[in-house]
Amino acid sequence: MAETTGRILQLLGLLQSRRGWSGQELAERLGVTTRSVRRDVERLRELGYPVHASAGHGGGYQLGAGAALPPLLLDPDEAVAVAVCLRVAAGGSVAGIGESALRALSKLDQVMPSRLRSQVGAVHDATVTLSSATDTPVDPDVLMTLARASRDREHVTAGYVDIRGVASRRRVEPYQLVTTGRRWYLLCYDRDKADWRSLRLDRMTDVSAVGTTFVPRQAPDAASYVRRAISSSPYPYIARVRYFAPAARIAQTFSTASVDIEPDGPQACIVTTGADEPERMVAWLAVPGCDFEVLEPPEVVAAARAVAARIARACRSSGADDHQSPMAGPTG
């Protein structure tokens, strides 16, 4: 009995993780026959989980939304309250919360009746969240559409405005959502450009899953790809800088969401980052308070020399080397 119960819970987890499964796929994952899968599906239905089955080519099992919530230990009012809170958390700026909230919201949304979805939308629309000027809010419906399309491998179309203000229409294969704590990004394959892209969700409009699916490609690591993209690609000047300090120390100063940090031995590291103006970049690079060397590009190297010379002239003009401070004590 315990083995059967555990298998039913495993089956429920599989049905929640993907839109559709064939009976043979489920049997292989569970290590049972397709006949056992059919029996376990019937047990889930008896418990109130709306498992739909379809025959023929492309058929299989799918966990859908029923007339009432399955027994998730939540009544409808609690489900609405949880969904509203998850929407706020998913679009918020608390580090480490957004992705977990979105995963939980996606699971809840998958089995929530339409009447409760309407209540969630009404409560959310009637709620105003005060945020700082640096926040980039994302429409929760956009988050949910992209989360479902990524899970179900469904094509998406959307309007997009890039960093230069150029608007375009994108046809993409969505793979994974990534949050830095303040912003959401989508790792996707752009079908028109035939290449991988990371798109900021707050710059996306009219997002729609078109109903057709795609075969997954070999995708790059989402976190690494987005980190490199946001630390360099939007900027005209990309600098590589060697810091004579361990990578862990430099990571305490620079957010890994805005720079790429690679260890260069135990006592040094290489930082890659971008900026619009070389001299402003140099001032920012000096923030860690340790020795560093600008490796490239030449414009940033020249800016570092110019800033260093300017600071040296400022020290000479102050007379700091020629006159003793009146607050200093006797020497000798």
Give me the pLDDT at residue 95, please: 41
Tell whether the model's pLDDT for residue 113 goes beyond 80.
Answer: no
Percent of the chain with pLDDT over 90: 29
What span, in angstroms and rounded, lies between the C-alpha atoms of 145 and 154? 10
Tens digits of per-residue pLDDT, 236-253?
A: 788 899 999 998 899 888
Higher per-residue confidence, 186 vs 140: 186
Give me the pLDDT at residue 10, please: 85
Q: Which residues contact 223 (CB under 8 A, 6 or more apart)?
A: 178
Give me the pLDDT at residue 80, please: 67
pLDDT band at 131 (very low <50, low <70, confident <90, very high): very low
Name beta bridge partners: 208. Answer: 157
Given a contact cutoff of 8 angstroms between Cβ atoms, the answer to whether 61 and 106 are in contact is no
Name which of 177-191, 214-228, 262-276 the model is least confident about.
177-191
Give me the pLDDT at residue 325, please: 43
Give me the pLDDT at residue 300, please: 93
- Give the 3-state secondary structure of residue 62: strand
Query: Percent helix, strand, coil in the chain (nearest 5)?
Result: 40, 25, 35
Tens digits of per-residue pLDDT, 46-59?
A: 888 888 888 776 67
The mean pLDDT value of the chain amounts to 79
Tell whether the model's pLDDT for residue 155 goes beyond 80.
Answer: yes
Give me the pLDDT at residue 79, please: 66
Model confidence, pTM: 0.51
CA angle 80, 128, 163 (to 5 degrees): 110
Residue 67 corresponds to which amino acid? Answer: A
Tell whether the model's pLDDT for residue 25 goes beyond 80.
Answer: yes
What phi and psi values does residue 77 have, to the nearest 5 degrees? -65, -40
Q: Taking Cα atoms as reference points, which of 45, 15, 10 lies closest to residue 30?
A: 10
Give me the pLDDT at residue 77, please: 67
Given a contact cutoff of 8 angstroms between Cβ atoms, the answer to whether 138 and 207 are in contact is no
Helices (H) and strands (E) in the chain, counts: 11, 11
Give me the pLDDT at residue 71, please: 54
Given a contact cutoff of 8 angstroms between Cβ atoms, the answer to whether 37 and 30 are in contact is yes
Q: Taking Cα atoms as reference points, which of 21, 44, 16 lies closest to residue 108?
A: 16
Tell whether the model's pLDDT for residue 278 goes beyond 50.
Answer: yes
Name which of 215-219, 227-231, 241-245, 297-301 the model is least confident about.
227-231
Q: Which domains does the chain have, with CATH numbers?
A: 2-63 (1.10.10.10), 76-125 (no CATH), 140-225 (2.30.30), 235-318 (3.30.70)
Tell whether the model's pLDDT for residue 258 goes beyond 80.
Answer: no
